[in-house]
Structure 1
């Protein structure tokens, strides 16, 4: 009996060792590079071995873990709520950006980039407790639908990236989100969508205050977790330099640069949106997810550029 159990156990171990950890990734150099890196840093016999405590991976959210076109999904939520506030009190529309947002002029708002988004968020997200805000976000996600796909926004997460997150966690990595989006917005769904707990989400944040048993959201912006703010947020919240970072735009450049500038084995990954048929195709032009410097400098820095059309056999979860 002992022999049979041992043989069965060895058979299961052998099957597990051959299981594909990234089944929605095509068998390309990109997939090979990811698996090779993970195997090197998790093998105690490898000169590149990294202890589990230092296996930190950080990921942008918009355009990296879920879609971001035609505008950031949080902005669509914010526009819905801003319209409600403006209907009740038009005096909240104190700028051209806010007036355009209340009128549903996405092109004008998108042209303002992250700054315009944050201005809309500062008005639309304030005046409620964090718990009430996150309940409202989850309720919105239940009913809101994307204008092109008619999918729930939290269904438009990338299956290959879900697999990558799971693979890294199976190999004792911590997986963090570091996003220019609002920290409380992302925390409302990150655990359900990505299996990333709220305490492992870093994002832009506004002022808050404690009052009568609740933490309340106030107007304004305290910290922008985008571009050069991402390494600052990572240092403040994690206290360690990541060894793996994933993004999709030049807003993530500083995070990848910070990650790969450290000693020892490092991995930088950029998702390049090349698939107009299954998702969206964009890079150097536009107001959302612009990718210039990453394409120009990334390869020479050793970063892996994911070609969505060729490197992913599937985009959305089934």
Structure 2
């Protein structure tokens, strides 16, 4: 939905509480539709994607876009991988509190850590943004960027989603993995633009999505440069938020870190609305896509009333303006990659 303390915006985290599929080396416009995006059912959404890509990559055509300007941006949580029952970075932080509890016995009596250790999510939520900042500071700050990355890697290797019983990195959406690969094969440059912590996402973005670290835009915290006791230069994470890449922050982040207005954007929540609006406001052919979670059996069904990934205003605007709304239940043959 959403550097020093590389975190989500606290308000986004508070709401959260209440395999890379490689494509063929080249894809051609004349390939049968059934051979493209194989995990997508034939229909309006798939046709709209393929038609858009064909139009902007047809040299000499009225909608042709030069490769340098073929910028595609994607939200991460709920758009490229699952996000329920809480954002996965928050799950990481809560697991880290449990892992560090023996080193901090005072947490058993101190909020919000007491609630975390007791599994009392309502109690954690009641601590508000201040409590969440304490949790993120305890689990993210005071570490060098390298040490933080190693901890994230270890968690991703061992942690398992509580309901789906799979590693978190296997919960990327197979149809979106295919879409990323398809776009890159047609000359697009793909970026993540997410409210999630940039340093957290960079640890898996390349191996899961094929998106290198320098093409990940996210929320970030302050980092401090110094020379460590071993004489080696380092960056250490501090408990201060520097930039929140969520809502109106997303177009700002795109301008700051990418420098080109996207021609394609995909999101799944109201936190992505401004990114979609910014993409739509450009000249020439544009594609705005919204992943609508409608599949309670294979994933989850939620939108306007959800405490995670709320899709309300963005759904209304997508409907009113004719953006492509991807119905997960009817548009996707499969949701997750094979185990």
How large is the RMSD of aligned CA atoms in angstroms? 2.5
The residue matched to 1:168 in structure 2 has which SS?
helix
Cα deviation code 1:37-70 (max 9, x no counterpart): 0000000121011000000000000000000000
The correspondence for 1:282, drawn from 299, 302, 308, is 302
1:137 aligns with 2:157: no
Equivalent residue number for residue 270 of structure 2? 250
- Structure 1 residues 14 and 46: CA distance shift in structure 2, 3 A: closer
Q: What are the residue-to-residue correspondences of 1:168-179 with 2, within 5 Å?
A: 168-179=183-194
- Structure 1 residues 112 and 166: CA distance shift in structure 2, 3 A: farther
Contact 1:113 1:287 in 2 (8 A): no
Equivalent residue number for residue 202 of structure 1? 217
> Structure 1 runs of 4+ off > 4 angstroms?
12-16, 90-99, 107-119
1:55 aligns with 2:70: yes
The alignment of Structure 1 onto Structure 2 pairs a total of residues equal to 307
Q: What are the residue-to-residue correspondences of 1:9-24 with 2, within 5 Å?
A: 17-18=31-32, 20-24=35-39
Contact 2:29 2:54 in 1 (8 A): no
Q: What are the residue-to-residue correspondences of 1:7-156 with 2, within 5 Å?
A: 17-18=31-32, 20-89=35-104, 99-107=114-122, 109=124, 120-156=135-171
The residue matched to 1:68 in structure 2 has which SS?
coil
Give me the TM-score of the superposition, normalised by structure 2: 0.84
More helix by share: 1
- Structure 1 residues 52 and 209: CA distance shift in structure 2, 3 A: same
Contact 2:111 2:127 in 1 (8 A): no
The residue matched to 1:205 in structure 2 has which SS?
strand
Cα deviation code 1:69-124 (max 9, x no counterpart): 00001101111112344543367899955553454333455688999766632331
Unaligned runs of 5+ in 1: 1-11
| C-alpha separation in 1, matches of 2:105 and 2:273 | 39
**Per chain length, whose mean CA-contact separation is higher, i.e. which structure has more relative contact order (CA < 8 Å, sep 6+)?**
2
Contact 2:270 2:313 in 1 (8 A): yes
Give me the TM-score of the superposition, normalised by structure 1: 0.89
The residue matched to 2:291 in structure 1 has which SS?
strand
